[in-house]
């Protein structure tokens, strides 16, 4: 088995090396939330810093109860005993793949780590494109056909994964698409893994949001964390909500966890318990973050559409997925190389997300445009007009000029 560095982390390190060497590179390749830690969370972490014991494998009772309340408030009654905590939702997803077993259906494109983790555990991913205009949910009709074909060939397909809203496309699958996938999952007895780490960053809170757990609580696993909504990527904390009655799956997941991470970091759990309780000051922070992510995503969307790119309008998180095939640059690897080396624009190639390498599609993350210092980022977060801030305006101008230059050369 060949294991390589995650495409997102590799790109981040390459761009940072180039910046240290004096190159100007607009960093649109890394999905970090790009905002400071809220002081209330820093205080909670510091106050718990003497908690240096391992703690329960499933996570501290206070954190599990708080996470259960988080889902209760979203219309999903949750038993704290069916909540498991880990050092980030990424670790929990890996543990779930091991605990569930079998092959898994993934949307195409989808986050780089899903297929990589499946390979690591010996699961062969079944890649199914999302329906046109959707994102994060594989086309239900094609899922049914692909799973039946795989099973006829002797494979064991046990689960299907969705991302709501999606990374890399920034789209939120419609309630109808989710409902049809749930029907297929029931027909084929598939466990649904719903990665909802961007749920609280849907740009328009009025946009209809349907979790598979709303429709199929008996077969849906939800994962989430605080790295996106509250910019705690470096703290590594995640939680999973297991289906009603899934005590056997819980036992398998805890067995995996006990051998890989033992228990999440105790001080971080204390801060996370406070965060999942959603006190007023953190709700306000998430609301401001959502507004900023949406504002910048729409501005970057306008930069790409100005040069004729086909790019679905972003609806959540801080991502876009433009198609620049009309420029004739080549596939995603060639396009990424040209953007970086000739125009100082760092993005990720679509093939890293399981997409067709010949397609000129790239994943763009806007969240590192907010500023180079905590002060600039806070100013961006609280500004009514963040696009007018000099450092953000300059970055958008750099992007517009680079894309215009690329389009002009390829015309």
| The predicted structure's pLDDT at residue 1 | 55
Starting at the edge strand that comes first in sequence, how are the strands of the sheet with 191-195 ordered? 83-86, 238-241, 220-225, 191-195, 157-163, 103-108, 126-129
Mean pLDDT of 148-162: 98
Give the model confidence (pLDDT) of 359-394 as tens digits: 999 999 999 999 999 999 999 999 999 999 999 999
**Which of helix, strand or coil describes residue 372?**
coil
Question: Is the pLDDT assigned to residue 411 strictly greater than 90?
Answer: no
- pTM of the complete model beyond 0.75: yes
| The predicted structure's pLDDT at residue 13 | 79
Question: What is the token pair recorded at 298?
Answer: 């729409």
Split at pLDDT 50, 70, 90, the class of 410 is: low
| The predicted structure's pLDDT at residue 20 | 79
Mean pLDDT of 62-68: 98
Closest CA to 225 of 380, 84, 367: 84
String of b and e for 31-67 (b: at least 16 CB within 10 Å)? bbbbbbbbeebeebbeebeeeeeebebbbbebbbbbb
């Amino acid at each position: 088995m060949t294991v390589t560095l995650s495409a997102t982390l590799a790109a981040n390190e390459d761009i940072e090396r180039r910046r240290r060497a004096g190159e100007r590179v607009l960093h649109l390749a890394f999905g970090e939330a790009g905002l400071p830690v809220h002081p209330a969370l820093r205080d909670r972490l510091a106050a718990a810093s003497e908690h240096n014991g391992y703690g329960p494998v499933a996570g501290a009772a206070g954190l599990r109860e708080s996470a259960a309340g988080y889902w209760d408030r979203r219309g999903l009654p949750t038993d704290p005993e069916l909540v498991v905590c880990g050092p980030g939702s990424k670790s929990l997803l890996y543990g779930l793949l091991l605990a569930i077993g079998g092959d898994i259906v993934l949307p195409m494109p989808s986050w780089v780590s899903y297929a990589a983790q499946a390979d690591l555990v010996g699961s062969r991913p079944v890649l199914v494109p999302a329906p046109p205009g959707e994102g994060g949910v594989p086309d239900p009709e094609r899922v049914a056909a692909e799973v039946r074909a795989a099973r006829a060939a002797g494979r064991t397909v046990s689960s299907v994964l969705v991302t709501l809203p999606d990374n890399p496309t920034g789209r939120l699958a419609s309630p109808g698409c989710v409902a049809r996938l749930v029907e297929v999952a029931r027909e084929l007895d598939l466990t649904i893994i719903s990665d909802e780490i961007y749920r609280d960053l849907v740009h328009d809170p009025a946009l209809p949001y349907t979790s598979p757990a709303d429709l199929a609580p008996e077969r849906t696993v939800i994962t989430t964390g605080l790295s996106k909504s509250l910019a705690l990527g470096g703290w590594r904390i995640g939680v999973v909500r297991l289906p009603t009655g899934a005590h056997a799956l819980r036992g398998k997941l805890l067995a995996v966890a006990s051998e890989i991470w033992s228990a999440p970091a105790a001080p971080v759990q204390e801060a996370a318990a406070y965060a999942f309780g959603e006190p007023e000051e953190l709700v306000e922070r998430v609301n401001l973050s959502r507004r900023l992510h949406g504002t910048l995503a729409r501005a970057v969307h306008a930069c790409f559409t100005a040069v004729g790119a086909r790019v679905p309008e972003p609806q959540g998180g801080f991502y876009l997925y433009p198609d620049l095939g009309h420029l004739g640059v080549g596939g995603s690897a060639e396009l990424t190389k040209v953007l970086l080396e000739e125009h100082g624009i760092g993005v990720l190639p679509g093939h890293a997300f399981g997409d067709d390498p010949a397609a000129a599609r790239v994943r763009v993350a806007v969240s590192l445009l907010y500023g180079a210092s905590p002060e600039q980022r806070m100013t961006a977060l609280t500004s009514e007009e963040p696009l007018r801030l000099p450092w953000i305006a300059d970055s958008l101008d750099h992007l517009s000029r680079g894309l215009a230059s690329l389009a002009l050369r390829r015309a």
